[in-house]
Structure 1
Amino acid sequence: MSSNVPTRQAAWRTETLFTVVRACLVVLVGASVIGGLTSPAQGFLPDWLRSLANSVGGWSMFTFLLVWLSRARPLLGAILGVVAFEAMLEAYALVSLWRGNFYAEPFQNSFTLPGIAAGLVLGAGAALVRHAMPGWLRAAGVAPLCLVLALEAIYGLTVIASTTSPVYWILEILAGLGFLLATLWRSKQLGIARARPQRDS
């Protein structure tokens, strides 16, 4: 029985060719679609939700969710976080150009470098929430996203309150709280599941 323990502990850090290809497709396709839709969404979303198409928090949530859905492990997750952010930026720029609005040259807009940094952190965090064994690692994984959502919501409710609807910023705060609670609940459920075999033995 003891020979299986290292395998279980290392499983959350390993990848196969299939999991790499699957994760890359999920993130690249999903991010391209989201980034492309952001450009027209800035014009047709209702006022109370329009900030979603203009906020850092919106793309941060999508980056986190895409990497989580891809089931990538932490190392690949960090890389795919960058891929997600940059794919959204480039798809946004391309669709904007098709609509007659030049945004920026490829990989030369003001969000390219911040997107790399944010993508690394959010992607690795999403993978930790999906795969990490210790509960504190999952909490650490979701913390950056919750912090981004909270800080941007505070900024929206104060600095730009006169030009944006407060509804979206309140929803961002609730979303951050939701991500945190979901992660804590998942940690608890996984802890219970791991404890059962020990009690049964």
Structure 2
Amino acid sequence: MRGRFYSAGAFLFVMLSALVLGGLTSPAQQYLPEFMNSFANSCSGWVLLVSLVIWFSRLRPLPASAAGAAAFVLMVEGYRIVSQWRGFYYGEPFQDRFTVIGVAVGPIIGLSIALLRYGTRAWRTLAVIPVSTVLLGEGIYGLTVISETTSPIFWWLMIAAAATFSLLVFWRQRPAPKIAVPAVLLIMLGAGTFWWAYSNLDQLLASGS
């Protein structure tokens, strides 16, 4: 019973934190330094925020997976609510394309962060793949597709964060080559897939509607 109450409290912590953090990203786009303002409306920035919230919640893998989806949805809603308070219309509730994306990728992010805490050595190593994939993939996307309208410093920081995060986990877990090599290859493959999908996001969403 005590564990259930803890899980419920941790889940509530995730939801409230996500709503508040999503709301803060709206003014952050205006007030962060120019080289960092992409953090507020990038996949990388939001993935990092959700990952930190899930980590500090200490949720087990299954509830963390559900919390990951809920967190992304509520971040979008927090952003929408605060943006409208500030006079910027951002669409109807729960109908944004990033809500759909959040429902799809949120469980993967939530599960991977929980596995970093509770998984075996092999699973902790493999758990770096989702977050590192997003950071590396969007970093490359930022440098190659939207470099003329955003600061390259932020995208280089995300690429560095992907490498640092992966190397730190590998160093702590000391995985066997049969685990480490596929993990690195999957990060690279995932980053390339992210770059392609994000570059063609409008077409992909239109074809799926």
% same residue: 46
Counterpart selection for 1:149 from 111, 135, 156: 135
| Residue matched to 1:19 | 6
In structure 2, what is the Cα distance between the partners aligned to 1:156 and 1:105?
28
TM-score by length of 1: 0.82
1:180 equivalenced with 2:166 (yes/no): yes
SS at match of 2:150: coil
Q: Which residue in 1 is equivalent to 2:87?
A: 100
Partner SS state of residue 35, structure 2:
coil
- 8 Å CA contact 1:93–1:103 kept in 2: the answer is yes
TM normalised by structure 2 equals: 0.79
Question: How much has 1:144 moved relative to structure 2?
Answer: 0.9
Q: Per-residue deviation at 1:29?
A: 2.0
Separation in 1, partners of 2:9, 2:167: 28
Letter of the aligned partner of 2:28 in structure 1? A
Which one of 137, 141, 157 corresponds to residue 171 of structure 1? 157
Q: Give 1:181 shift.
A: 2.6
Give the corresponding residue for 1:50: 37
1:63 aligns with 2:50: yes
Runs of 4+ in 1 over 3 A off after TM superposition: none
The structure that has the greater radius of gyration is 1
- What is the deviation of 1:18? 2.9
Structure 2 residue aligned with 1:113, among 100, 106, 131? 100
Deviations 1:100-122 (A, max 9, x none): 11102111111111111110110
Cα offset for 1:25?
2.6
Unaligned segments of structure 1, at least 5 residues: 1-14, 189-201
Q: What is the alpha-carbon root mean square deviation over aligned residues?
A: 1.4
Aligned residue-pair number: 173
Q: CA deviation at 1:170?
A: 0.8
Structure 2 residue runs of 5 or longer lacking an equivalent are: 175-209
Quick check: 1:26–1:69 contact (8 Å CA) kept in 2? no
Q: Distance in 2 between matches of 1:170 and 1:26?
A: 31
